[in-house]
Amino acid sequence: MEHRAYGKTGVKLSVVGFGGIIVTDEKPSDAARMVSEAIDRDVNYFDVAPSYGNAEEKLGPALAPYRSKVFLACKTGNRDAKGARAELEASLSKLKTDRFDLYQLHGVTTREEVATILGPGGAMETFRKARDEGLVRYLGFSAHSEEAALMLMDAFAFDSILFPFNWACWLKGGFGRPVLQRAREKGLARLALKALAKRKWREGEAKEWPKCWYKPVDTFEEAQIATRFTLSMPVTAGVSPGHFELFQWMCDAAEKIGPLSESEEHALEAAAAELDVIFPEAS
């Protein structure tokens, strides 16, 4: 699998990241098998969060034999310093590691959250201290709104951003365009979320992928072109959705990545126009 530079750090990450929610509620033997297959496929980027059920408890033992060879990213949903510190220490314990390669604010959405994070007693106090203590190497955030992402990038020199750079949202309303541009200008490494997302679940719809809060692509062919779309952008990697089969599709797709043709992009744009996309049109 191709590996790309994580900013200017000298670190290189596999273009597909293993989304930790994959191992949520899995048997330990199955979690170990999934992680082992990911390693065999040359995946070295693993991302997890406390909000993913028992994913940390499952991923820690499965990843233990490979810990020194992989880039492990974790997150906190807490916006205050005390809560973020407690969650950081709990995550380190559950994942059986003494440090994270990347620690991130998780799913920042509103202006008010940003103000809390950056203000007195906010989570950034914990982030700075944890980096000084060697508990984390790099600092980043994930965001679900352009406003929050732009505000955070302007306020602090993060190492990376994890953001929905997704074909449907991008082509329907341009969601993510200003974020990608600002991240490039500021020199942040760009990590992609939701590459295989298609649309919102409909009310009462049977959810064949219950770990996804959105409806992902339906076929490998769709996964292949969605993956190509995201990885053709100036990004380091895309994190897989929460089912192992979707992770496998994304890995298979990453074996043949390259820019979309004009006709392929027109077809995707037409498809996106008909979808109830998961993130709103850009302002």
Residues 6+ apart with CB under 8 A from 55: 20, 21, 22, 23, 24, 48, 49
pTM of the model: 0.95
Q: What is the pLDDT of residues 101-147, one digit of tens each?
A: 999 999 999 999 999 999 999 999 999 999 999 999 999 999 999 99
Residue 45 confidence (pLDDT)? 98
> For residue 282, is pLDDT > 60?
no
> For residue 283, is pLDDT > 70?
no
Q: What is the pLDDT of residues 59-97, one digit of tens each?
A: 999 999 999 999 999 999 999 999 999 999 999 999 999
- Min mean pLDDT across 74-78, 82-86, 148-152, 278-282 is at 278-282
- The stretch 197-201 carries a mean pLDDT of 95
User: Domain extents for the chain?
Assistant: 3-273
Residue 258 confidence (pLDDT)? 87
Residue 280 confidence (pLDDT)? 80
State the fold for domain 3-273: TIM Barrel (3.20.20)
> For residue 207, is pLDDT > 80?
yes
Share of the chain above pLDDT 90, in %: 96
Residue 37 confidence (pLDDT)? 98
Computed over every residue of the chain, the mean pLDDT equals 96
The answer to whether residues 117 and 154 touch, using CB atoms and an 8 Å cutoff, is no
Share of the chain above pLDDT 70, in %: 99
